[in-house]
């Protein structure tokens, strides 16, 4: 059975992580970043953004640490390449409204293409000049095991950069 993943959002979070959309395994077990080889939970802990190592089954606990989770598109797919234009037309306005209501200090897109779809323009990885409703925007490399464009160390470095920014700005 495939499931839509719940949003883990509330007003005043430090960081909301925005994924592209739930993958196959995540939608089957009902938890974020559950794909084999996905490094999201490891990077969250190793960067210091979470004080303990979480697993996909612990995803709701991110709220305890001032973190949130959601997706650009809520519909699952085997690959983000399988998403249709209609998925974005539906998902992006909903995401904008959720982020506006949550009003986090920072929004971290897990994947460059996820933010490019959201913003409508090409971007680079890292801290963006643009803000969204007062929140700083970070673009992280996708933590999916399918993303082989950067080494594990380079991907982790972007999470560490976000953690350093959070510390400098009062986390």
Residues 84-142: tens digit of each pLDDT: 778 778 888 999 999 999 999 999 999 998 899 889 899 999 999 999 999 999 999 99
**Residue-level pLDDT at 86:** 80
Given a cut of 60, is residue 27 above it in pLDDT?
A: yes
Instruction: Provide the domain limits for residue 45.
Output: 15-168
Q: Measure the CA–CA gap between 141 and 158, rounded to whole angstroms.
A: 7
* pTM for the full predicted model: 0.93
Given a cut of 90, is residue 74 above it in pLDDT?
A: no
- Position 21 in a domain: yes
Percent over 90 (pLDDT), the chain: 69
Q: Which neighbouring-strand residues pair with 127?
A: 138
- Position 5 in a domain: no
C-alpha torsion angle, residues 157, 143, 19, 134 (rounded to 10):
0
What total number of domains does the chain contain?
A: 1
CA distances in angstroms from 111 to 12, 25, 80, 126, 160, listed in the order given: 23, 18, 11, 10, 15
Structure confidence at residue 22 as a pLDDT band (50, 70, 90): confident
- Position 4 in a domain: no
**Residue-level pLDDT at 78:** 65
CATH of the domain at 145: 3.40.470.10
């Amino acid at each position: 059975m495939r499931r839509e993943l719940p949003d883990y959002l509330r007003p005043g979070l430090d960081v909301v992580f925005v994924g592209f959309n739930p993958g196959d395994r995540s939608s089957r077990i009902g938890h974020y970043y559950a794909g084999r080889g996905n490094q999201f939970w490891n990077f969250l802990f190793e960067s210091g953004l979470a004080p303990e190592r979480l697993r996909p089954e612990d995803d709701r606990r991110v709220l305890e640490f001032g973190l949130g989770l959601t997706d650009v598109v809520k519909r699952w797919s085997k690959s983000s390449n399988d998403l249709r234009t209609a998925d974005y037309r539906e998902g992006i306005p909903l995401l904008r409204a959720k982020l506006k209501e949550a009003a986090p200090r920072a929004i971290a897109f897990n994947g460059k293409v996820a933010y490019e779809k959201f913003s409508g323009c090409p971007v680079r990885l890292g801290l963006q000049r643009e803000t969204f409703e007062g929140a700083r925007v970070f673009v992280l490399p996708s933590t999916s095991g399918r993303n082989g464009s950067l080494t594990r160390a380079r991907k982790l470095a972007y999470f560490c950069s976000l953690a350093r920014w959070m510390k400098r700005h009062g986390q």
